């Protein structure tokens, strides 16, 4: 028997809700509320429950019973419940996620003046450590998720762009850095989801150990098409440069050093009058650095109908670095469209083309391996004598063969003149990068989704360079090179997803899929020397000698099958498990397959009655426990053919040779990371404060080590062997709050803190430790029971006030002083003056300081006052030391210039100072010859990373102008720093993303200060 039920639907404040849906549960019968929120519905006798829902509000279920009038007040939907997180091969409601995933919104980094998004992630998420290694434009940052998880393989996270794993790292073969991720215009990014624990990463199997970053690019939304223009212009310049001696001070110190020799020498460093008759006093910074100008423009059009949505964008960015002639230019176009053909079938595609031009003229000396480059610009700007000029008085370049001319100095100045190099040379990498995918999706029945996605990622890098014959690498005949590196990848992923809720409370989500990925690379090119005519400055010109350049050939293949099951009971108890089987081509037959799995569980206590009824619930409105355990692997950096032994071809007098070139390891397999994660999230005072705390531990087993072979074995390589073990464990804390929220003024703040402890537990038997080099110098050691990349130096104990000599501490713990003026063999004495054995780095270096930040994080604040907004982001890292090798360079007593600190050198008995007596030619006392603890400094810092002040046009004013919205802003990056570090920037890495050689600042350029002004207009 049917009856009529009437009622009214209101919101929490009692306001009527029009157009709310009122349905009989389990049927298709329903009604809609009118403008007053009233409804009337005829229900059959069998009907038991009404479901009342409206967009943006949480649905309510009301038992009908005998009622004839039902008034319902709908609560606004808990934001948290609505929020969706991108997970591997799908999305999941944030409320049901039991994995540790952080989401960073694209808007947080969109207008930052960095070529790639990863450089802007610093301080924005717990567990994510971003270190910007230097001020070279488009240099990949050091990117670590939960510590350094490998010794020899890459520790860079897997980056997946719209489902396709992309290339990472510096792909340039030139002096200009080229981060592969710069192909993704930050303005096109919707969100970045950072997968940290096993529950999140195990689905990526053998590539998940370093964490995974899922990039979701912007898509169109239903509705009228929107046009948005973003643009900014900015200026960048160096900051905190070393205070170097001027010409007079330089000559004073050098000549004093000569006079301090055993046989005092007459002054050999003498002034040279410049063209104006004044003695030359060159500030070499003027010939290395500049204020670079940058600008960037993006236009996007997006929109769509019910069936079809699209997003189209074009970007142009041109960024000059603070190093002369170092720049980055990107032109990119992105297009995507999604179309629903019918209820069952939908399809779409997404394509991005990007052209990037990375330019440099001189070696910055700051990229990995370049710390001691003869032309390293940072080093030349510091060490070139200030009493000589890059130009002779007649205006021509000051050169003396392949060195700068000494002018009136009586010593050879064995460095290059950087000016002709900067004027004439180039070393550019041009990338053409196409990333795209197409998908077809079927929903044969409502609970089942079948999807297949085919993606490509083609990255061609065209490296070109020219070196003038005047000086430098091209001296004396000129040289040029050109090579093309083609990197191609395709990925084909097919998934089936089943979602269903049984008996109201049991929600199941099951995923199964397969994936194949093939990556190939090929490189070829020319290297030419002996320019036929100075007119030419390109590879196509006239050259007499041709060699090959950049030959490369490789391929690898990865096959995978994977599945995931999520289950929740009554949105209170959550369980999840995932499994993946990977097969990888680099491993020997029989060992190419590996299995990776994870389990996780969650418990939403706030949903429990006992919790809701307790007094605690008045303070704590949300509380959820979560834990996971599982495995993921690492293959990134294993050679394509690492399991094989090879003989390779070479030359002997033009004839082909054959020689043993690679000892393979047929037992090679992945590194496995066992990850544990336990955490909870909470909300206080009705989500006024929310937060998340997690403890994690990554145990990495089967670490691949290039097991060092004694050089007397004559082996061509140190074979890669799964033999080491290490762990990273730590705590992550994230707190978000809205301390002030009034009509006109709002302050929201977010703070995160990560503590990470890294320890190597096992290396190979017979291998007590592994040292790592920075160019020509060994400063790091990795050994069991220490964190990776420990600083490894010779201990020093100041300067002996009696003699002015540097005191070293040898392996026996004895104090030994060094006098460079004494005869060879008699330079080292004990403090009582008796002869001591010479300090030998091979014997006397000891592990002394941790170089990996123990804690790091960020503090992000947003203030809104009426139409003004202000963002202040502070980042910090601490608990680590930096080897300031640059300080060794600028205290060297050869012809090199020094920092002004050297002026406080020891002069007479009793002087207490940290600078030894200057002796000409002394490269030992201050750490140039061997690294010393005197040059190790605490690296802890707090940085004012970003300040942005914006003003949005009021809606009415915008309307008058015929636009939807507009915002102007001024922002500054890297504006200030608090640190005890003496170099320009403790946030440096002379070795880039190297694992075993972190914490080294050797002749690197620091980070720049950048100021920008920008505008966003929407139509």
Give, as ranges, the residues between 346 and 375 that touch other proteins (CB under 8 A): 372
Site for other proteins in 501-540 (CB under 8 A): 529-530
Residues 926-985 that bind other proteins (CB under 8 A): 928-930
Taking the least distance from each CB to other proteins, the nearer of 254 and 290 is 254
* Kind of pairing between the strands at 806-809 and 38-43: unpaired
Round to whole Å and give the CA distance between 88 and 91: 8
Applying CB under 8 A, does 766 fall inside the site for other proteins? Answer: yes
Q: Is residue 923 near other proteins by the rule CB under 8 A?
A: yes
Determine if 920 is a binding residue for other proteins (CB under 8 A): yes
Least distance between other proteins and beta carbon 363 (Å): 14
Q: Could you say which residues in the range 882-911 bind other proteins, by CB under 8 A?
A: 894-895
Query: 90, 61, 57: which is closest to 75 by C-alpha?
Result: 57
> Roughly how many angstroms between the first and final C-alpha of the chain, as a whole number?
56
- Residue 918's alpha-carbon distances to 49, 266, 736, in angstroms, are 92, 15, 55
- Choose between 232 and 543: whose C-beta lies nearer to other proteins: 543
Name the token pair of 596: 């990776």
Question: By CB under 8 A, what part of segment 401-440 binds other proteins?
Answer: 401-403, 410-412, 414
The b/e string for 94-132 (b: 16+ C-beta within 10 A; e otherwise) is: bbbbbbbbbbbebebbbbbbbbbbbbbbbbbbbbbbbbb
Stretch that binds other proteins, among 213-221, 704-712, 749-757, 804-812 (CB under 8 A): 704-712
Rounded to whole angstroms, the Cα distance separating 211 from 467 reads 41
For residues 169 to 208, the per-residue mask of contacts with other proteins, x marking binding by CB under 8 A and - elsewhere, is ----------------------------------------
Query: CB of 878: closest distance to other proteins in angstroms?
Result: 31
User: What residues between 94 and 153 interact with other proteins by CB under 8 A?
Assistant: none
**CA dihedral of 847, 848, 849, 851, whole degrees rounded to 10:** -20
Q: How far is the CB of 402 from other proteins (least distance, A)?
A: 6
- For the segment 820-839, give every residue that binds other proteins (CB under 8 A): 823-826, 837-839
Stretch that binds other proteins, among 114-122, 173-181, 395-403, 681-689 (CB under 8 A): 395-403
- Asked whether position 40 contacts other proteins by CB under 8 A, the answer is no
Q: Which is nearer to other proteins, 35 or 714 (CB)?
A: 714
CB 133 within 8 A of CB 323: no
Region of 278-286, 546-554, 562-570, 627-635 interacting with other proteins (CB under 8 A): 546-554
Our CB check for other proteins shows the closer of 762 and 965 to be: 762
- 659-678 residues in contact with other proteins (CB under 8 A) are 659-660, 663
- Of the candidate spans 132-140, 512-520, 710-718, 735-743, the one that interacts with other proteins by CB under 8 A turns out to be 710-718
Smallest gap from residue 766 Cβ to other proteins (A): 6
Lay out the sheet containing 1000-1001: strands in order across: 936-938, 881-884, 1000-1001
Backbone angles phi, psi at 885, to 5 degrees: -65, -25
Q: How far is the CB of 548 from other proteins (least distance, A)?
A: 8
Site for other proteins (CB under 8 A): which residue of 708, 972, 984, 986? 708
243, with CB counted inside 10 A (0-12, 13-18, 19+), is exposed
Select 270 or 958, whichever has its Cβ closest to other proteins: 270
Q: Classify 214 as helix, strand or coil.
A: strand
Q: Which residues contact 621 (CB under 8 A, 6 or more apart)?
A: 606, 683, 684, 685, 686, 687
Q: How far apart (Å, rounded) are the C-alpha atoms in residues 82 and 66?
A: 33
Structure tokens at 728: 């990273």
Between residues 229 and 372, which has the closer beta carbon with respect to other proteins?
372
Among 83, 542, 616, 646, the residue binding other proteins under the rule CB under 8 A is 646
422's enclosing H/E stretch is: helix 418-424
Window 782-801: residues binding other proteins (CB under 8 A): none
Cα 362 from Cα 287, distance rounded (Å): 11
Q: Does 778 bind other proteins (CB under 8 A)?
A: yes
Nearer Cβ to other proteins, position 258 or 760? 258
**C-alpha span between 107 and 101 (Å, rounded):** 18
Tokens 């829902």: give the residue.
Answer: 53
**Interacting residue with other proteins among 100, 319, 721, 734 (CB under 8 A):** 721
**Which positions ≥6 away from 396 have C-beta within 8 Å?**
none
**Choice from 243, 656, 812, 962 touching other proteins (CB under 8 A):** 656
* DSSP H or E run through 872: strand 868-878
Comparing CB distances to other proteins, the nearer of 663 and 693 is 663
Specify the stretch interacting with other proteins by CB under 8 A; choose among 47-55, 91-99, 243-251, 545-553.
Answer: 545-553
Among 1, 2, 653, 834, binds other proteins (CB under 8 A): 653
Which of residues 55 and 823 has its CB atom nearest to other proteins in the complex? 823
Given the complex with other proteins, which of 259 and 314 has the nearer CB atom?
Answer: 259
Joined tokens for residue 599: 């389990």
Q: Which stretch binds other proteins (CB under 8 A): 748-756, 760-768, 859-867, 950-958?
A: 760-768
Choice between 444 and 833, CB closer to other proteins? 833
Residue closer to other proteins (CB basis): 411 or 914: 411
Question: For 932-948, b where at least 16 C-beta lie within 10 A, e where not — what string?
Answer: bbbbbbbbbbebbbbbb
For residue 186, give the nearest of 113, 270, 245 by alpha carbon.
113
| Residue 263 near other proteins by CB under 8 A | yes
């Amino acid at each position: 028997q049917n009856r009529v039920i009437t009622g009214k639907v209101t919101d929490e404040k009692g306001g009527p809700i029009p157009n709310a849906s009122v349905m009989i549960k389990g049927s298709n019968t329903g009604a809609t509320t009118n403008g007053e929120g009233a409804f009337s519905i005829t229900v059959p006798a069998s009907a038991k429950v009404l479901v009342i829902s409206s967009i943006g509000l949480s649905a309510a279920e009301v038992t009908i019973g005998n009622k004839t009038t039902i008034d319902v007040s709908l609560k606004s939907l808990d934001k948290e419940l609505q929020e969706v997180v991108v997970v591997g091969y799908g999305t999941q409601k944030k409320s049901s996620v039991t994995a540790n995933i952080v989401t960073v919104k694209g808007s947080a980094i969109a207008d930052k003046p960095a070529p790639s998004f990863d450089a802007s992630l610093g301080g924005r998420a717990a567990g994510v450590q971003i270190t910007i290694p230097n001020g070279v434009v488009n240099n990949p940052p050091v990117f670590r998720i939960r510590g350094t998880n490998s010794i020899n393989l890459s520790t860079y996270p897997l980056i997946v762009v719209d489902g396709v794993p992309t290339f990472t790292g510096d792909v340039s073969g030139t002096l200009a850095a080229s981060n592969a991720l710069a192909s993704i215009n930050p303005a096109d990014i919707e969100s970045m989801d950072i997968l940290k624990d096993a529950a999140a990463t195990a689905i990526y199997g053998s590539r998940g150990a370093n964490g995974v970053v899922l990039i979701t690019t912007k898509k169109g939304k239903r509705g009228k098409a929107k046009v948005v223009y973003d643009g900014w212009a900015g200026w960048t310049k160096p900051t905190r440069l070393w205070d170097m001696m001027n010409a007079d001070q330089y000559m004073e110190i050098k000549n004093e050093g000569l006079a301090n020799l055993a046989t005092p020498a007459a002054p050999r460093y003498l002034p040279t009058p410049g063209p104006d008759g004044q003695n030359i006093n060159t500030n070499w910074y003027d010939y290395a650095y500049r204020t670079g100008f940058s600008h960037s423009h993006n236009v996007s059009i997006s929109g769509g109908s019910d069936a079809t949505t699209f997003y189209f964008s074009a970007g142009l960015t041109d960024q000059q670095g603070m190093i002369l002639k170092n720049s980055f230019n990107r032109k990119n176009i992105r297009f995507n469209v999604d179309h629903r053909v019918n209820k069952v079938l939908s399809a779409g595609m997404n394509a991005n083309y990007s052209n990037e031009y990375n330019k440099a003229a001189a070696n910055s000396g700051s990229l990995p391996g370049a710390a001691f480059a003869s032309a390293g610009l940072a080093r030349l700007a510091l060490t070139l004598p200030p009493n000589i000029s890059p130009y002779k008085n007649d205006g021509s370049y000051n050169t003396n063969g392949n060195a700068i001319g000494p002018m009136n100095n009586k010593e050879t100045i064995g460095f290059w003149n950087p000016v002709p190099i900067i004027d004439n040379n180039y070393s550019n990498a041009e990338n053409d990068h196409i990333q795209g995918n197409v998908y077809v999706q079927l929903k044969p029945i409502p609970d089942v989704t079948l999807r297949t996605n085919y993606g490509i990622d083609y990255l061609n890098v065209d490296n070109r360079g020219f070196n003038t014959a005047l000086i430098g690498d091209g001296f004396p005949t000129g040289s040029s090179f050109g090579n093309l590196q083609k990197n191609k990848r395709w990925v084909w992923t097919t998934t089936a997803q089943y979602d269903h809720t049984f008996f109201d409370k049991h929600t199941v989500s099951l995923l199964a899929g397969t994936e194949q990925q093939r990556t190939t690379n090929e490189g070829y090119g020319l290297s030419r020397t002996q320019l036929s005519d100075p007119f030419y400055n390109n590879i196509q010109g006239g050259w007499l000698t041709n060699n090959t350049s950049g030959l490369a050939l490789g391929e690898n293949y990865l096959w995978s099958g994977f599945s995931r099951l999520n289950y929740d009971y009554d949105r209170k108890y959550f369980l999840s498990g995932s499994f993946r089987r990977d097969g990888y081509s680099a491993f020997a037959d029989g060992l190419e397959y590996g299995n990776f799995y994870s389990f996780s569980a969650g418990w939403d206590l706030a949903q429990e009655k006992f919790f809701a009824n307790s007094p605690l619930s008045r303070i704590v409105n949300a509380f959820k426990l979560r834990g996971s355990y599982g495995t993921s692997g690492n293959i990134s950096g294993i050679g394509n053919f690492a399991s094989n032994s090879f003989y390779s071809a070479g030359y002997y007098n033009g004839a082909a040779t054959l020689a043993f070139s690679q000892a393979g390891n047929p037992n090679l397999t992945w590194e496995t990371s066992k990850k544990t994660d336990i955490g909870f999230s909470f909300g206080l005072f009705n989500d006024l404060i929310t937060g998340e705390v997690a403890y994690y531990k990554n145990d990495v087993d089967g670490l691949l080590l290039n097991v060092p072979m004694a050089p007397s074995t004559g082996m061509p390589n140190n074979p890669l062997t799964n033999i080491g073990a290490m762990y990273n464990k730590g705590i992550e804390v994230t707190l978000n709050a809205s301390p002030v929220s009034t009509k006109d003024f709002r302050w929201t703040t977010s703070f995160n803190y990560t503590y990470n402890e890294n320890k190597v537990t096992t290396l190979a038997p017979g291998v007590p430790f592994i040292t790592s080099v920075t160019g020509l110098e060994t400063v790091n050691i990795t050994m069991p029971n220490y964190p990776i990349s420990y600083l490894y130096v010779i201990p020093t104990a100041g300067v002996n006030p009696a003699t002015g000599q540097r005191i070293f501490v040898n392996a026996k713990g004895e104090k030994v002083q060094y006098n460079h003026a004494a005869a060879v063999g008699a330079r080292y004495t004990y403090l009582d003056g008796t002869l001591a054995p010479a300090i030998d780095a091979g014997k006397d270096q000891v592990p002394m300081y941790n170089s990996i930040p123990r804690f790091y994080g960020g503090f992000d604040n947003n203030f809104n006052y009426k139409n003004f907004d202000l963002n202040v982001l502070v980042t910090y890292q601490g608990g680590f030391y930096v080897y300031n090798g640059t300080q060794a360079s600028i205290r060297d007593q050869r012809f090199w210039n020094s920092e002004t600190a050297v002026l406080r050198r020891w002069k007479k008995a009793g002087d207490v100072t940290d600078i030894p007596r200057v002796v000409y030619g002394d490269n030992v006392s201050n750490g140039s010859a061997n690294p010393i603890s005197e040059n190790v400094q605490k690296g802890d810092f707090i940085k004012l990373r970003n300040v942005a002040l914006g003003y949005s046009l009021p809606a009415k004013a915008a309307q008058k102008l015929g636009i939807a919205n507009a915002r102007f802003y001024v922002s500054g990056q890297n504006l200030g720093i608090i640190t005890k570090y003496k170099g320009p920037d403790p946030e440096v890495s002379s070795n880039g993303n190297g694992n075993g050689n972190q914490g080294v600042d050797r002749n690197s350029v620091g980070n720049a200060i950048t100021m920008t002004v920008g505008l966003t207009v929407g139509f």
